[in-house]
Every structure is written in C-alpha cells, then in structure tokens.
Amino acid sequence: LIEKAQEAANSSTGEMDGMPLITLDLLHLQRMRLSRLSAEAHLVLYGLKPDLHREMLNATAEEILQTNERLILGDSNALQPIRSLCVTQDMADVMVLFRQVEEAAREVTNGDREEAARLMHLVPEGTERMLRLTQKVDDFYRGLVDDTNCSRSLTTEQWLQLMVEVVRLACLGEDLASSTTNVTAARAALK
C-alpha cells in the first residue's frame, strides 16, 4: 500500500487505483478528527487548558462539517463531486454519527462522565464506519457503485432531511452565483 501511494504521489494523475489522493487524504483526516473530538473533550473534562481545548473542539467540529461538504460537492481544485445516492447516504450516516460524537463530546466538556463512557464507544464505531465509507468512495471512483441497487430506502424523516439539504445546497449555489456576479460587476466598475 505504501509503495502504491508513493507511486501515485510521483505520478502525474495524483490517483491511487482510481481514487484521487486528495479524497483519500480527506477521508483519513475525517477519521483522525473523530478521535480528536474525543481527546479534546477529555482534556477539557480533566481541566487541562479547558478554554484552549474547547476552542479546538469547536474548530475540529467545524472542519468535519466543511470537509464533508467538500467531499460531497467537490471543489474548484482536484476534488470531484460524489454523484452517487448510495455513497451520499453512507456519508450522511457517518455525519449522523459525527454529530452524536460531537454532542457527547460537548456533554463531556460540561463534566458529564456518563457521556465520556458513551463517547469512548462511539469513536471506534465511527472509525469503523469511516473505513467502510472510504472503501465505498473508492468503489465509486472505480465505477463499481451501482445506484440502481442501493439496498436502502429512505424513511419519511430522512427524505425530508434530504430535501432540506437539497434546498440548503441550492441556496448556497445561488449565493455563490450572486456573489460571483457582484464580484464581476465590482471588478468591471473598477476598470
């Protein structure tokens, strides 16, 4: 695996067996951040620079959300959007678990030792789900994901959440388009 990664890094494509290295890197960062949420919460619980670690916990939670959005939507760089319902559903499941970890971590920072025990069980589960998600994303990039065979159906609540997310993304797109138009107009006015 290390040899393949080195070969990919040296190649001009920046891919490892089909998956862009940036995607692989971001998925591994997400796993690391999951563990970091727990560590930061425990540092606050034990009184080790609580203000600093509370800020770090907030920053880590924000990084998780931003990275998840980048993974789904892609970006203007090398990151392609994921256009697979099955993979997107799996990513949403992982985000639900991330939110549970985040909520438990915040309770731990408030001194809740029962949540600390729960947090210790959630992190390994999250790590396992991230490993499965990494495999699924790899399958997506290799063209091995068949969305016609997605074995799950959405509950009404999940469907509504998906619709809310679609509207939110559409609004982001509109905001981006209008800000691009405003920037273009401002540049034209400056010339």
Maximum distance among all alpha carbons in the chain? Answer: 62
pLDDT of residue 46: 95
pLDDT in single tens digits along all 191 residues of the chain: 555 554 544 443 455 555 678 888 888 999 999 999 999 999 999 999 999 999 999 999 999 988 888 888 877 666 778 888 888 888 888 888 999 999 999 999 999 999 999 999 999 999 999 999 988 888 888 888 877 666 666 677 777 777 777 777 777 777 766 665 665 655 665 55
pLDDT of residue 17: 58
Task: Give the containing element (helix H, strand E) for 104.
Answer: helix 85-109
0.85 exceeded by pTM: no
Give CA–CA dist 106/38, Å, rounded. 9
